[in-house]
Amino acid sequence: MKQIKTLLIAALLMLGANQTVNAQAKTAHVDVSEIMTKMPAVLDGQKQLDKLSGTYDAEYKKMVEEYQGKLKKYEAEAATVTEAINGERSKEVQDMQKRIVDYRDNAQKELQQKESDIMKPLMEKVRASIQKIGKAKGFQYIVDGSSLLLADGPNLTADVKKDLGF
């Protein structure tokens, strides 16, 4: 009876140990930020964004310089013109301020939208590649290694880069 009890306990322990081994998920990591910063399509997209940003910055600077020039001119002439003209000029300056602020806000929105339009498909492409590589190698979980404190396991970054063609 005692031997049967011992065998039963041993069998349960073996079964439990086997379940523990089977319960461990196969995981790997990928450094997504490294992939995104070195991906040629991302670099091309960044060049497009920089060019567009430069265009917006130049136009914004031109508008501000025009505003400052008119402001100086109007302040210098304020004492020599009528109150009605000063009121008109004040309204004109306020309208210019509003246009400048609106332009800046719209430029920022357009840049953000353009960045989203460029990066979203690229990020989806990277995600698809990670999934493809992970499934092919039998991994159940793949985590972003750029934020891990300890990344002691298979690193699929090079495999993903190769799959993406760089």
CA atoms within 13 A on the CB side of 54: 6
Spell out the domain ranges in the chain.
25-164
Per residue in 45-100, pLDDT tens? 999 999 999 999 999 999 999 999 999 999 999 889 899 999 999 999 999 999 99
CA atoms within 13 A on the CB side of 4: 1
Q: What is the dihedral of CA 59, 61, 66, 69, to 10 degrees?
A: -170
Task: Give the separation between CA 85 and CA 144, rounded to whole angstroms.
Answer: 63
